[in-house]
Amino acid sequence: MVGASLASTVRRWSRWRRLLALVVVLLVILGLSIAGGNALDVSITRANLAPASGIIAVLALTARRGWRIAVATAGVTAVAIGNAVTALPLDYVLQTGLLSILEVLLFCAIVERSGRLPRLDSVAHSVRLVIGATIASAFFALGVTVVRILAGVEPSEALANDAFVANLVSFVVATPLAFARVRQGATASRTEVTAQWLLMAAALIVTFTLSVNISLSFLPLPLFAWAALRLSAIGVTLQLLLVTLGTTVATVAGWGPFAMASEDTRDAIVVLQGGLFIFLSSTLVLWSKRVEGELEIERALAKDRVLRRAVERAQTAFLLVEPIGDAYIVVQANDHGLRALGMDPNNEFFSASSEINIALPDDHPLIEGLSIVARGDPRWRGELVLEAFAGRADAEVAIERAVGDKSGVMSVELTDVTEKRREDRRLRALVERERALSAQYQELSRQKDDFVASISHELRTPLASIVGYAETLDETELDPLQRRFVDTIVRNAGRLQERVEELLSAAKRAADSVDDPHPLSVGRIIGEVADDLRAVAASRGVGIVVEPSASVLPEVIGTEDSVTRVLTNIMSNAVKFSPNESAVVVSALVDDETVELFVRDAGPGIPLADQGRVFDRFYRTEDATANATPGTGLGLSIVRTLLDGIGGSVLVQSDGRSGSTFVIRFQRAHDLDPAD
């Protein structure tokens, strides 16, 4: 904590307390004005050298802006009363009083920015204060000079250099004292502060009591520099005030080199105050420069601490590496960086200093990347295997050097990817295993298809003989019992032949043995299939309705056999599962790209759990199995295989309770490339 300044403390006082303080200060100003006038014989050509302007400026700056003119006027009025008491002409008092008000307001306007109290913690603020004091004092001195000339004073005697120097010192001494923060910039111990004050007092005593040589007036200069470099703001400004008062009183008393060098006390004081202004302003600027540098260093250190803390807590390893000769020295590292180098971050060696200064071995994996960047490349990235503190580790490495950096220091970022690589290897092993299993499955599937095809072919010949002889028997004279037996043989042999043909068709489609797709009329095929199935449907009490939307359709891409089999399987399935007195309805929807057919039945529906599997080979729903509904589970599988071969698709929609709708999608014929 640097503490608050006197001005900021006063601003926090109550209104009545501030008013009381103002009255007290105005009385002090009045007393100084009267005392200065009496001590130095004030007249129209001899300005009052009391430090009233600086005190009035402090009052005006401390007051709120709305009260600034009133406060400045009150302060100048106190000075005017003092000047009137010392028998100065009233018109001269009023004219200089107006100039004083304008001087103070001009100083305030230059020094204050954005309504904030002046500060001394930067060179810009101190220089602005010195420049404001110089401009305001010069304005006042010029005005006083004009007033003197208008009063009939000779131009050689009218120049108000005494007023200029007096106000200049007044501003530079009083203002910093009011706005100095108590402990800001304090770096010296109490012993050092005491020693500096004693040496300053000794230097002034020597200069003003034992010496008549004006060159020795520079003896306190090194002590001013000492104060600027080591003392607090309040210490420096208080010392400047006491030195100014002490040397001025000594000169008025006729002591010291300035009084000895001039017969006129006023001239001696003017010379003294000119020198004091140089000492005072230089000390203020030097102190501000020192504090500004300390604040910048403190901010930089704070940022460095925040950055260092963030780096230390990061999950990524960081190193700073400096090339020295042929060696690469790790100068700094966070905990993860130390672990990546195979070191224990809890070791006392690393906690003693942020500089670790460890040389990397010549065979360290990082040397290659560091060498590339050290030779001029801006960055290097790669993946290395490191002997880390916890064992071997895979790490992604990024090495960079700041653009324009002459030191050659490189930053190294190490990201541990050991677990990631281990997971990658595990996933690759799983993928390879899945591939092997997939290959085994495909081989088993091929063997199954071959077996089905082989068995089907083997069954086709004896079935043909059975059907042939059964049909021959059917044409002979048979009694009723024989006729019933033969009908049963013919009917079941026919069913068996259908199943064999389905098996052969599925095996054929699985082997991609399909004709090349070509444009064909799907509307015609719908009508033919509906006609073929109506007799069977009627025997079951089921109707087949082809809506107008499905009667006249654009050509689609497919083969006659594929489209016919697809529609036959879907529509016969719908008939098979439809109840009596219901209908299978076929409708269509056409867009620019596809033709969609909708085959809707009123059957029991397909449970949601089964809808994803009804197109698998040999799969039958539990209801179909429980109700002994005829079928092999191949019909819908054949449908999907056939549609895949001609670029179509099929899906089922059902709520699982009442009815199912199969959606068959074909590509429109104009989508076929003519080159095909």
Q: What is the DSSP annotation of 194-227?
A: HHHHHHHHHHHHIIIII---GGGGGTTHHHHHHH
CB-side neighbour CA atoms (13 Å) of 611: 17
Report the pLDDT value the prediction gives residue 628, as an integer from 0 to 100: 41
Report the pLDDT value the prediction gives residue 305, as an integer from 0 to 100: 67
The rounded Cα 112 to chain-centroid distance in angstroms is: 37
Per the rule left: phi > 0, alpha: psi between -120 and 50, beta: everything else, 184 is beta
CA separation (Å) from 98 to 53, 63, 64, 503?
Answer: 12, 19, 21, 120
pLDDT, tens digit, 9 for 90 and up, residues 92-128? 778 878 888 898 888 888 888 666 677 777 888 888 8
Q: Which of 313, 305, 364 lies closest to 340 in space, CA to CA?
A: 364
Q: Which of 81, 13, 85, 9 lies closest to 52 in space, CA to CA?
A: 81
Question: Six-digit token pair at 478?
Answer: 């048979």
Residues 6+ apart with CB under 8 A from 76: 56, 97, 100, 101, 104
Domain ranges, ordered by start, for the chain: 6-294, 314-416, 435-507, 514-671
**Angle in degrees, CA 146, 161, 46, rounded to 5:** 75
Report the pLDDT value the prediction gives residue 36, as an integer from 0 to 100: 60
CATH 3.30.450.20 fits 314-416, yes or no: yes
Which residues are paired to 154 by β-bridges?
Answer: none
DSSP at 459: H
Report the pLDDT value the prediction gives residue 38, as an integer from 0 to 100: 56
Dist CA 639 CA 566 (whole Å): 5
Report the pLDDT value the prediction gives residue 589, as an integer from 0 to 100: 92
Q: Which residues of the chain are under the pLDDT cut of 70?
A: 1-4, 35-51, 86-88, 113-116, 210-217, 261-262, 266, 303-315, 350-355, 389-390, 403-407, 449-450, 452-461, 464-465, 468, 504-515, 611, 617-634, 671-676
Dist CA 333 CA 347 (whole Å): 13
Helix (H) and strand (E) counts for the chain?
Answer: 23, 13
Going through 219-357 in order, the beta strands assigned E by DSSP cover: 317-324, 327-333
DSSP at 361: P
pTM of the model: 0.51
Residue position matching structure tokens 């120049």: 159
Residue type, 503: L
CATH 3.40.1280.10 fits 514-671, yes or no: no
> Per CATH, which fold does 435-507 belong to?
Helix Hairpins (1.10.287)
Dist CA 403 CA 401 (whole Å): 6
Q: Which of 93, 18, 91, 104 lies closest to 55 in space, CA to CA?
A: 104
Phi first, then psi, for residue 380 (nearest 5°) are -145, 135
Dist CA 401 CA 399 (whole Å): 7
